[in-house]
Chains A and B, each alone.
Chain A
């Protein structure tokens, strides 16, 4: 038998042409061929032309002095003075000026609660208790009439607190409805399936604004004589019912993706229908659709801007409130819009990043 040769591996060496780092990146991504080079030159040229102009307007020649005369001066760009002057009105709407610390604290609490709920570390039983406590605190702070806080009627609530409250409450309240409807659409009882299908298709077929009109014009007619319900609550009910239909579809997607074997295994262990759904199917299905739920929430957050059309003063509405009747500042509405655009963008962008991250987590756990 021949002698065994000991295998000697050739040492690895770096590639002869550099393929990583800035220079190759620029070469491959900006100047790969003549088409790419041309595109880079044109697009880059346009950017170089417009971005400095924008910066000039928005920063270099802008003024932040809360004085309309300063804004009218020659050569002044953006007039951020309108924000420094009116930001409390824009953010808190018609809430009494001296009491505005209350919506501020309430909103901070609510946002903290939302951030907490998005953190896996806090996904424990007691989170439910925290929710109840924070929501109670939110309403006590906003409405008052207790602990020496003066009472503030709901028609004076407005701005960012209202936006956040509407979005959060309706997404939370719509959950139980959505779960029932989603289960109902998959039920094998025809009457229940039909009702749920009609509900979902009906709501998803009409624009939110028609639901809001319903809440504000028709709802009062629905109630027995003498019963009046606060417009805020009516709108909240409308938005919740609207959101529930969309949420039900997201949840149904999760239910459908569950392999049949899970329900069969549960049944073979003797679990009842509700036990099977709540202990086996729903926990898994919901975990699968967290990104979808998150996207729904972002949509709802943006959609709350519509309540302005039925005269609730959330961010968009309170901007109108702040500027429309003030001839000095009215010309600077664009700056005002950009301010609330920035607020909305900050919230929605953060949420969509979170949604992407959670989607990756879900996919990872699917691979396992």
Chain B
């Protein structure tokens, strides 16, 4: 006796006590409450702004800002509009965040790996670093670096000179290559080096798979990129003009310069976040089970192969998500720049807020910038995690 297959009954039970009905009811209640609160806040705000005569809208963005910005990648003066000031703020935030991320990754990884050093002194120092830097608020660290740079360095007129580098309360000034068309060849050489290196790696890989001969997959490509870069630079006529700073009457002039604000923010964020990155790296490496290392050894893999083929791929999976989190934290913490006057997006918005009184708009702009960064990153992370998850049943 067999029962013919059939589709389930289409109609749901919508009675008063059904789960479906209850679920819908709860959701409606939630929407009503949240919508109600939002509406109440919005009407209050509108009323308050009307009473206090606060205008609203983003029209102020096209008006002249009326303030100067201490440092920016492009020229800015007080007649330029607010929107341009915002963009400069965003670029300053990104500048410090990207540089900070690069430096913190290098430092944090070194310290994290250092905790597995065979040398007891190195292990101890790395641990001391982590404990010290992560247990003190980052704001305090920024303020301290800023204090050091602005109080304990000599005045600009007596700038300390190390070679062609000048250190003073005004920041650090250093020789900077003067851009010439010849440099273009160097850049082209670097790009060509990357392409060649990529082909080399492909070739080395297929050679390895075909014959089992191992070739360096790291140092040779690095050498190729470097060599072609130098070659391009030579072909371009080896331009080696530097703008060398010189001590003037009141200031050090010429060359490239970093302000003390920028250095304090960069150093503070990097040192603080590196402590967390080091912990991430350490726990990532120690999360790979002991047996994995033993099995690799029993198969006769060398220390390097064991690291590269077995330990790192597994550790990276554990490391990358919290690492991204730390990068986001660093980016968000760069907002503390406002405390020492580095013109990032928060401090420019803050100035704009105080001048125009458009609190809602300015704060919304700040949030928008950070939200975009965070959401983009977490979309990327989700994609990466889904892609690299270890397959279990």
Instruction: Determine whether A and B are in direct contact in the complex, meaning some CB atoms lie less than 8 angstroms apart.
Output: yes
State how many angstroms separate the Cβ of B321 from the closest Cβ of chain A.
Answer: 12
Residues of B within 8 A of A29 (CB): 118-121, 123
State how many angstroms separate the Cβ of B344 from the closest Cβ of chain A.
Answer: 10
B23 and A189 form a contact (CB under 8 A): yes
B144 and A337 form a contact (CB under 8 A): yes
A191 and B370 form a contact (CB under 8 A): no
Q: Roughly how many angstroms separate A44 CA and B121 CA in the complex, as a whole number? A: 8
Residues of B within 8 A of A331 (CB): 151
Residues of B within 8 A of A53 (CB): none
Contact stretch, chosen from B42-50, B196-204, B208-216, B255-263: B42-50
B366 and A305 form a contact (CB under 8 A): no
With contacts A30-B119, A201-B378 taken as known, whether A344 is within 8 angstroms of B34 at the C-beta atoms is no
Q: Roughly how many angstroms separate A317 CA and B378 CA in the complex, as a whole number? A: 34
A334 and B370 form a contact (CB under 8 A): no
A218 and B359 form a contact (CB under 8 A): yes
Q: Roughly how many angstroms separate A302 CA and B125 CA in the complex, as a whole number? A: 23
A207 and B332 form a contact (CB under 8 A): yes
Per the 8 Å Cβ criterion, residues 27-64 of A in contact with B are 28-30, 32, 36, 39-40, 43-44, 47
A337 and B147 form a contact (CB under 8 A): yes
Per the 8 Å Cβ criterion, residues 316-343 of A in contact with B are 316, 331, 333-334, 337, 340-341
Q: Roughly how many angstroms separate A294 CA and B49 CA in the complex, as a whole number? A: 41
Per the 8 Å Cβ criterion, residues 30-52 of B in contact with A are 30-31, 34, 41, 44-45, 47-49, 51
Query: Of A44, A210, A221, which contacts B45 at CB under 8 A?
Result: A221
Q: Roughly how many angstroms separate A338 CA and B284 CA in the complex, as a whole number? A: 33
Is A68's CB within 8 Å of the partner chain B? no
B139 and A191 form a contact (CB under 8 A): no
Residues of B within 8 A of A344 (CB): 135-137, 140
Residues of A within 8 A of B148 (CB): 334
With contacts A40-B121, A218-B359, A334-B148 taken as known, whether A303 is within 8 angstroms of B353 at the C-beta atoms is no
Sampled A-B contacts (28; CB under 8 Å): A29-B121, A40-B119, A47-B121, A190-B27, A191-B30, A192-B27, A195-B34, A205-B370, A205-B373, A207-B333, A207-B346, A207-B366, A207-B370, A210-B363, A218-B360, A218-B363, A221-B44, A221-B360, A224-B44, A305-B139, A306-B139, A309-B139, A334-B148, A337-B140, A344-B137, A345-B135, A348-B136, A352-B135
Please list the residues of chain A having a beta carbon within 8 angstroms of any beta carbon in chain B.
25, 28-30, 32, 36, 39-40, 43-44, 47, 188-192, 195, 201-202, 204-210, 213-214, 217-218, 220-225, 298, 302-303, 305-306, 308-309, 316, 331, 333-334, 337, 340-341, 344-345, 348-349, 352
